[in-house]
Structures are given as structure tokens and as C-alpha cells.
Structure 1
Amino acid sequence: MTPDTQRFRDAMFSYAPTPLAVLSRGEGARVWDADGKEYLDFLAGIAVNALGHAHPVFVDAVSRQAATLAHVSNYFATEPQLELAERLQRLTGGDAVFFGNSGTEVIEAAVKVARRTGRPRILALEKSFHGRTMGALSITGKPALRAPFEPLLDGPEFLPTTVEALEAAIGDDVAALVLEPIKGEAGVLDLPPGYLAAARELTARHGALLVLDEIQTGAGRTGDWFAFQHAGELPEGATPDLVALAKGIGGGFPIGALVAFGGAQHILQPGDHGTTFGGNPLATATANAVLGEIERAGLVENSRAMGERIRDGLAALSHPAITDVSGRGLLVGIGLAGPWAKDVSAAAFELGLIVNAAADDRVRLAPPLTIDSSDVDRFLDLFSTALERLPA
């Protein structure tokens, strides 16, 4: 091990001892390591840094709020908390919000809502990822992640991602169906056309909750504010029951939110759930600033446009190693013809490009929503060079 690798292992004992670099600063879509090497960041902290690094709006929001009121507990309301709840209600069309500190925490809250219905079954999808706490892990469709910690919660069942499998499994004893509109951790896998609409119709028919995990797809990432809002995804006038948000809504500051629609807001009773830090004024003021800047600067539209430019550029490469391009907006999956994703991401990193091997044969892109055409062109040049370094 190098000295930096050993320090990383000593400090972060649950992570593999393979840090690629010690990063020291960032600006926009670029970061620099401790040796001064520059990297184009097309991962953005795994879809977190929506405004990129050190954006003036983010920096100003953190500084201003830290100088006034950082934390008071939920015995009190604060103006940033109320403002963010109202903003998320407006953007999602939801009716009430619970704030946590991360995605996995708000998924835990969603699991508790499902359990509070009294129904015994929760349906989730194979190859899904919802978090690593015990409740969230219980509904994560990756057996290798669950196995070391079993037994987990009783009730979750994992379905193939087909309407036929859902029709066969659902019944009046199902509390909730939990799904990602795009499976990010599986390599950016799209749902089949019409699946989300069918899921809404079937869950409504059987009185089950439809819970959408938009932790990775939300806040403009897919070219709309939220993936369920894309035209044709849900029937006219239909909504989910719960939507879990985190990552990009804070732009780098830890925060999560569970948005409830209609009657779902009344299932948990006072005292059923809570959090010390969730919705603190520092986090909510920062999220307000980030979401406000996404709106002001037209970054949802930019996500759509730059995502199309990436897809067009990848198609123009016509490289035999690329089998498909998936996702929407600036959440992009690149399928490979072999188990080469780690090789490609390592080669890209050597060239000064950060991408992610989300699966053995899939590379994930989730750059800042602020990227421009020159960033995309630079990405395409570096990524093409990384592909050429694959073994013949």
C-alpha cells in the first residue's frame, strides 16, 4: 500500500483500501488532487454536486446560515425549513415533507410508513439499491449486500422488472411497492416503457403505496425536476404516494426529504418517527439556495440538452466496446461488450477524467448540472482515449 492508501484504510475502515487520489479542491466541473493534477469530474460525488464544486451560491448559503443559526432541533420551526418544505411541495406536487440527513434515512422513513399500514408485504425490484441501513438494505435487491446482515426485515420480496411479474405478485396484503425510476447503482438501467404507469395503476387498485426512490434521479438530474414527471411516465393526474429525495437537493450538503402525497401524509402518527438533525436550518438553507439556483439558471433544461449532446457524441464514436447508452438527462449509463468498466474508469482517471464503474460492464456518468458543451466535448475526447486503451 502507498502511504495515502494506508491512511485511508486506517481512517475509513469499512472501505476497500484503494483511494485513487487525495483530492484537495474543486471548482465547477473540475477537481485537483494534492499533487495539483486536474480532473474533469463526470461523477459529481455520485450525482450530489448539482452545481459543481465551490459554486458561489452554495458557498454563500452555507456561510450566511452558519453565521446565524445552524441547529435548533425539531422542537422549533425555522424559516429555511418551512421555505424548503414549501419549495419541494411546489416542485413535486406533494402535500407534506419529512426531512432527514441522507437518502437511506428517508427510505427508512418510507419503510416505517409502509409497516404502519399493517400490511405484511413490501415489493421491490431485483438489482435495486435503496441504502445500507437495516430497513433500506432489507428492500435493496442485491443479495450480496444483504447476505452478511441477514436476517433483515420480514416481508420484502424482489421482483423481476416486468409488468407481468408485478401483476402476479401484487395483492391486497401489499403495503408498498418501492422502486427507482432509473436503477442508478445497477449501472443506470431504465425501467421498461409503461412500467411506472402500470405500477401506479396496480398499486392504486390494491390500495398499496407507490414509493419512488428519486434520491439519484431528482433535482433536475434526468432533464425534468423529477423522473416521474417526464411526459407519459404516469397517467394524467396520477401521482406517487411517497417520493424519497437526497443527493442533488443539497448540492453537497447532507440532507434528505420524504415527500408525501394525499393520504400517505397521515399514516405515521405523532411520535412514530423523528430525527435530531433532520431539517436543520443549515441544511435547509443550503438546499433552498441550490434548488433556487437550479431553477434560476435553467439547469433542468441544461441537463436535458447536455445529456442529449453526450448521447449523440457517444453514438458518433461508434466504438465496438459500447453496446448501449441508457438513462436520461445527465444520468447516463454506458453498456460495454465485456466486464471492462473498471478498466475503462481507471484508464479515464489516468487521463484526468472521473467516471464510475457502476457494474462490471456498465460505466455511470452523473456530472454537475452546470456543465457546458466544451465540458462534454472534453469528456468525449478523454473517454474515447480510455476506450482505446482496452486490451485488444
Structure 2
Amino acid sequence: MKVTQESTAKNYLDKLAEGQRDLVVAKEQELKNIDKVYEAKKSNERLVGEMELLDIQDRNQAQIAEKLQQKEERLGAIKTNFVENQTKLEKEKANLITAHQEKISDLNTVYDYKYQDSFDEANLKAQKINTDTSVLIKDLQLKSDATIEGIDFESKLRADAKTRENTQGLKQQEVNHGIQQKTAKSNYERKMAMAVSEHENKLSDQNHRLLVERKEREKFHNLEMLNKETHHKELLKQEDQSFKQKYDTIVKTHQDILDRVTNRFNNQVNSIVKDQMLYKSNITDKAKDDFYKVSSLNPTVKEGLKDYEVSIQVPVHEKENIRLTAQGRDVTLALTRKFTDEVKEENGEINRSRRSEVFTKKFKTSEILNSKDISQSYNEGVLTFKIAKL
């Protein structure tokens, strides 16, 4: 009988040892799985950081392309305005030339009319002088004929003398008329020359004023275009400097963010590694410590005046698994463990296993117990239950 009990106990201990070995293997597998999860998480964090960096770079490139497009649009608008202003100036120049030519044509027409009027007036005066002279000559001839017919020979002599005198007077009048005609013609030519000279002077002055005005406008336009070009270059320079400053600021900000993310990621990785190493060390240490391998329940029972005190040494992770119940004089102490393992293979399949262990310890007391008045406390590895007496 004794041999059977020892054999049963030995088998029980072997099973417990095997269970502990299985537990150690499961914990080691769990540590490996945790390492795999950690590596996967580290790879995912690195991938997320790289994607964020690429996203930041894409946004920066998009902002740069947008700024360049805006500058090109503004430059195109300025060029369009320049072409429009140049076209307006060409049109204004053509209009001025046309107006100037029209004014010259009008002045030529006016002076032609004046010249024709003066010429017509001079012809009329000359014709009037010729008519008056002819009428006077005819009158004189009629008078001479009448005088010749009315007098005798003596009178004829005097008439001849008078005729000669009249002839000389007529010649003198003809000479005077020629002189007057030459004088009138000379005056007309002089007036025409003066009018032509005055017209040419006016045309020259007007051409000079138009040329000066045109040069002034061209000078003003060139100065304005130079100012616009200088202003445009200054704006482009300021925009370029502002863009460079903004770009440097954005790059610095993103670099700071990236450094902070990298530092935080490294700190998290180091913290996870440290925690995992500490957890692994604790698991390894606990696996070697018999205190954390509860294989039997050996409580200490103390009887007091009003209650019983049941104490048992258990690790902190096992204190929630121990329950104590009382019924009459019977006391039952039970330790229940549940294990769940999950192993993911390379092909994606998942193997799960569940198992549980129950250790019980029953003993009797000399007095009846109050099953409703049970309290417990945990201090420095010792779990204590107090059971009140009836």
C-alpha cells in the first residue's frame, strides 16, 4: 500500500514536472511570438515613418510646383500687359501720324484755296485795269475823232499834237500799268512765298512738337517699362526669398517632426525591448524559482478567540486563483489555473490549446465556522484568510 502511494505520488510529481516543462516551453514560445510581434511592430512603425516622410516630401513638391505655376501665370499676365501696352502705343502712334497727315493735308488745302483766291483776285484786278484802259483809250479815240472832224487844219495840227501827247500818255499809262502789274505780281509772289514759308515753318514746328512729344512718350513708356521690369524683378526676388525661407522653415519643421518621431519611435522601441527583456528575465527567474511553481497547497492554520487564520505562501500572480470556502467544520482551499496558448505557423494557420489545473486542500476545524464572514489579505508573498466562528 505504501509502495502504491509512493508510486502514485511519484507519477503525480512527474506529471507536475512535465506540466512545468510544458509551461516553460509554452512561455518560451510565447516569448518568441512576442519577439515576432515586436519585430513586426517595429517594421510597421518604420514603414509608417517612411510613408509619412514621403507624404511630407510630396506635399512640399506640390507646394513648390503650385508656387512656380503661380509665378509663371503672373509673369504671363505681365507679358500680356506689356504686349497690350505696346499695341496701344503703336495704335496711338499710327493715329497721331494719321492726324498729323490730315492736318497737313487740311493746311495744304487751305493754303491752296488762299493761293487760288489771291491769284483770282489779282487776275480780276488785272482784267479790270485792262478794261478801264481799253475804255479810256476808246473814249480818247472817240474824242480825238470828234475833235478832228470839228476843227480845221490848224486844229488838225493841234489834234495831231494832242494825239501824240495822248499817245505818250497812253504809253505812260501802259508803262504804269505794266509797273503796277509787275508790282502786284511781285507782291503776290512775295505774299505767296511768305505764306508758303509760314506754312512750312508751321509744319516744321508742328513736326518738331510731334517728334518731341513722341520722344517724350517713348521715353516715358521706356521708363515706365523699366520701372515695371525692375519692380517685377524685385517682386520675383522677394517671392523667391520668401519661398526659400518658407521652404527652409517647412524643411526644418518637418525635419524636427521627423527627428521627434524618430526619437519617440526609438524610445518606444527601446522601452519595448527593455520591458520585453525585463519580462523575459522575470519569466526566466520565476521559472527557476520554486516559489512561483505552486504544485501543492500547504496552509498554516492558527486558531484565535473569534476566528481561524489560514495562511499560505503564493506568488502575486497566483493570489487571485486561490479560493477558500467553509461549511460547518469543513474548510476547502482550492487553486485553479487556466492556460491558453496560441501559435501562428508560417503558412498562416493558428494552433490554439487550452488546459486547466486544480489543486485542493481540505481540513476540519474543532468549531463550527461562519461561511459568510470570510476575509482575505496579501502581504509579502503570504495570502491570509480569516474565518469567523459561530
TM-score, with length taken from structure 1:
0.17
TM-score, with length taken from structure 2:
0.17
Q: Which has the higher contact order (CA 8 A, sep 6+)?
A: 1
Find the structure with the greater CA-based Rg: 2
